[in-house]
Structure 1
Amino acid sequence: MKGVVAILGAGTQGRRLAYMWSSRGRPVNLIDKRSDALEAALLEVERFRTTVGKKTRHQGGTVTTFGVEKLDDALSGAWLAVENVPESLELKRSVVKQLDGISGMDTIIASNSSSFTIQEIIEDLELKSSHRCISLHSYWPPETPGIEIMGTKITEPEIIPLLMKECKEHGFNPFHVKKNSSGYIYNRIWAAIKREALYVAAEGVATPEEIDEIYKDVLKTPKGPFEQMDTVGLDVVKDIEENYAKKRKALPQEPRDLLARMIQEGKLGVKTGEGFYKY
């Protein structure tokens, strides 16, 4: 597939996606309202190229940065536009509508949302390309290359196989989510694990450190649930949990209350230097 991949949002996930989509020599346009985020993103992409890229034969496509005031230019010639804005349904709906209004008729508009389905995002929006809107949720590339592709009942049939092919060629490990599913495949399973881990800690049954240790001891994984939540960001974890809670009324409040206390203390995880652990 020729043409540009436009990525809106140069945060942690956006810069990782910029690396992946440029890994086969194709151009990426990275967009953000903050110039410092764009500068940091370019440094991160270069770091991946000199580390991970040496093993995967990275071909070094260009990554060009744009401020949001130049969104029209950034979307020019894009075959794929991916939004990576914060996990707010209203914000994502607004961004997708904006992308739809600016991008070409053939552009696939994708959301990287971890908890909102593309069906929720585009519902009742007047879009010219709703049949070309899709969920394209990645995890932690390049270390974790899993990516989930989920359409709607009106998604053009050729889009899913095209994205399965393109994602695989760019180093992702793609999975097709065959039905509308809040949380996709993996996140539904992971949500139950992290929620119960938070509940155990909130009740004082064990500390986060102890929970992580027994989790790693039994399952032989490199990180426990609290270490993983710190990496993602506790504010993001809470936003996702709040969304699940709106859809599943029986979920316990205690895990969200614990996250709220951590956030109020400024402990968001790795990005602030302290979460359940210090960094």
Structure 2
Amino acid sequence: MTISKVGVVGAGTMGNGIAQVCAAAGFQVTLVDVSTEAIERGLSAVAGSLERLVKKEKLGTADKEATLAHIKGTTRYSDLAGADLVIEAATEKEAIKLRILGEVDGLLAPAAIIATNTSSISITRLAAATGRPDRFIGMHFFNPVPLMTLVELIPGLQTSDDTRTTIEAFATRIGKTAIVARNSPGFAVNRILCPMINEAVFALQEGLASAEEIDRGMMLGCSHPIGPLALADLIGLDTLLSVMEVFYQGFKDSKYRPAPLLAEMVDAGWLGRKSGRGFYQYG
């Protein structure tokens, strides 16, 4: 099938980034969230991201305006009815995703595809909650979406070969490089990344070194571009905790237990950059 109209559910960090790269590639994008305020924040984030690219001379002003013109923000799910592809990018909570997917599924034409940006939840289980499990796939983007070239594609047990090839081609059209991972908690990248970050939290909790020293050690000793604790702040500590909880429940292996300090910081509302405080303080 040919994809020309794209819906994105969730105007937060991941959703607005996904909307931006799709619009920049020439797709008509409908961005949906629960409130006008959330939509305005999402569109403002896209405009700010594009303006930074203009200032760095990586994008022309005309291209910026064209990209913004390709995005329509709305609070009405019914506005997704004509989409060929809808990408769900809501918070990493299965109950919320299932509710959204059920609502979206009933609006779309039979040939339309639904993708989820989940970073850890079973694609097979989410697909089974829709009436189109063969046209359902995981499409896991990385933050910040406009700058990170990777997207993980995760077929569920029911995903058709046609759906997979269509989404692989779509990923190329929006300037991404795709890898295909089997449906398993965390897929490929987060299966490796999140336990590493969680172990860094354990190291901090046990007083092995300060947050700054842990991050500096991994950057200088392992050539990481950003330290694991600073990366946790960028990802969001609540998201990291949710992923580790999925691992712990899915594998029934104590090596995936979330660090108690991580859970306590989430309880305190210290979620990283988005809350102004995590392992570091911001702005």
Distance 1:241 1:154 in 2: 26
Q: Determine the structure 1 residue equivalent to 2:70.
A: 62
Listed as ranges, the matches of 1:194-205 within 5 Å are 194-205=197-208
Offset, 1:118: 1.2
Contact 1:199 1:254 in 2 (8 A): no
Offset, 1:30: 0.3
Do the aligned partners of residues 41 and 181 (structure 1) sit closer, same or farther apart at CA in structure 2, a change above 3 Å counting?
Answer: same
Distance 1:165 1:51 in 2: 28
Candidates 81, 88, 96, aligned match of 1:83: 88
Code of the residue aligned with 1:145 in structure 2: it is T
SS of residue paired to 2:192: helix
Structure 1 stretch displaced more, 106-115 or 41-50:
41-50
Q: Determine the structure 1 residue equivalent to 2:111.
A: 106
Contact 1:202 1:255 in 2 (8 A): no
**2:184 matches 1:181:** yes
Do the aligned partners of residues 144 and 129 (structure 1) sit closer, same or farther apart at CA in structure 2, a change above 3 Å counting?
Answer: same
TM-score of the superposed pair, with normalisation by structure 2: 0.90
Distance 1:225 1:63 in 2: 34
Distance 1:228 1:10 in 2: 21
Code of the residue aligned with 1:209 in structure 2: it is E
Offset, 1:233: 1.0
Q: Determine the structure 1 residue equivalent to 2:42.
A: 41
Distance 2:51 2:262 in 1: 36
Candidates 219, 229, 235, aligned match of 1:226: 229
Q: Determine the structure 2 residue equivalent to 1:71.
A: 77
Q: How many residues align?
A: 273
Deviations 1:54-82 (A, max 9, x none): 52675525100110xx211x212211111
Code of the residue aligned with 2:209 in structure 1: it is A
Distance 2:120 2:191 in 1: 9
Contact 1:3 1:77 in 2 (8 A): no
Offset, 1:172: 1.5
**2:19 matches 1:18:** yes
SS of residue paired to 2:159: coil
Candidates 97, 104, 116, aligned match of 2:102: 97
Offset, 1:29: 0.2
Q: Determine the structure 2 residue equivalent to 1:153.
A: 157
Candidates 164, 167, 184, aligned match of 2:168: 164
For structure 2, the 5+ residue unaligned runs are none
Distance 1:201 1:255 in 2: 13
Do the aligned partners of residues 253 and 148 (structure 1) sit closer, same or farther apart at CA in structure 2, a change above 3 Å counting?
Answer: closer
Offset, 1:2: 4.3
TM-score of the superposed pair, with normalisation by structure 1: 0.91
Q: Please tell me the root mean square deviation across aligned C-alpha atoms, in Å.
A: 1.8
Deviations 1:165-224 (A, max 9, x none): 1111212121122x2222121111102211211121222222222111100011222210
Code of the residue aligned with 1:14 in structure 2: it is G
Code of the residue aligned with 1:204 in structure 2: it is G
Contact 1:198 1:255 in 2 (8 A): no
Contact 2:140 2:151 in 1 (8 A): yes
Offset, 1:97: 1.7
**2:214 matches 1:211:** yes
Offset, 1:265: 2.4
Deviations 1:231-263 (A, max 9, x none): 111111111111111122232587431112212
| % identical aligned pairs | 28
Distance 1:132 1:257 in 2: 39
Distance 1:251 1:229 in 2: 21
Offset, 1:52: 3.2
Code of the residue aligned with 2:270 in structure 1: it is K
Distance 1:45 1:2 in 2: 22
Candidates 222, 234, 238, aligned match of 1:235: 238
Offset, 1:36: 1.2
Distance 1:122 1:155 in 2: 8
